Amino acid sequence: MHPMLNIAVRAARNAGKVILRACENMSQVETSQKGSNDFVTNVDKEAELVIRDTILKAYPEHAIVGEELGHTDGKQADYLWVIDPLDGTTNFIKGIPHFAISIALKVKGRVEQAVVYDPIRDELFTASRGQGAQLNSKRIRVTKSTELAGSVLATGFPFKQKHHLDAYTETFKALFIQTTDIRRAGSAALDMAYVAAGRIDGFYEIGLKPWDTAAGELLIKEAGGMLMDFAGGANYNNSGNIVCGAPKLISLNTCSI
């Protein structure tokens, strides 16, 4: 395992311990609202602090950006860690056991290392550029699906941007009538990890942030998948609008989105 991936795994597992302890005593979880339908807990912040501490002990000059605590400059600015300490906070608050820790390392703007960790199931999705993607150290691949018929997709509703609801609903209708089914589970990081693992054929969502997708992006690429924006280009990191999955499925059916 690459040394920097090893640190990312250690950071994710340390954060997982924080989250699992909180699950055992939810009465101690403090929740606040940071935006429209956008919640944060003391556990999100504590988990991010643990991740940052683990990374900076190993690489004190690296930069970090996280969902909850913002940007920390580093002397080695070419190395940027992108963190979502608890992707699926609403699930966590409601006691729905589906959420994850997402950690990615960008080197000169390109994702080189990625971890998505589900502490409830103890499932660790990892990838290093050029080395493939793994789930608990076993190689994973996207599905070989080539058409929407028979496929299962995942999505996320635009719950923070409800002005997109009409456009989203039309897209959902166009896809739903052609697929076997569509899932909405509440964690983009896990949705993308599941695409990489071949559990679902594709995923799409509007308005995601870099910390939602950075680790999943490398997982999918290293698992043989494809990512694009809704126009069929590569601007998904800027637009936040992402489509990913089995290459032929995505390239042939992006026009439906």
Mean pLDDT by 10 residues, the chain (257 residues): 96 97 89 70 94 97 90 87 96 96 97 98 98 98 95 89 81 93 97 98 94 97 95 88 93 64
Q: How far apart are the first and last CA of the chain?
A: 38
For residue 228, the SS3 value is strand
| Bridge partner list, 79 | 107
Angstrom CA distances, 33 to 19, 30, 48, 212, stand at 19, 10, 17, 18
1 and 8 Cβ atoms separated by less than 8 Å: no
Its sign, for the CA torsion 160, 194, 241, 109, is: positive
Enter the DSSP assignment of 77: E
Which pLDDT score is estimated for 254?
A: 62
Its sign, for the CA torsion 163, 165, 166, 168, is: positive
216 and 196 Cβ atoms separated by less than 8 Å: yes
Which pLDDT score is estimated for 168?
A: 86
Which pLDDT score is estimated for 166?
A: 85
Domains and CATH numbers, the chain: 3-139 (3.30.540.10), 152-256 (3.40.190.80)
Which pLDDT score is estimated for 68?
A: 83
Which pLDDT score is estimated for 34?
A: 67
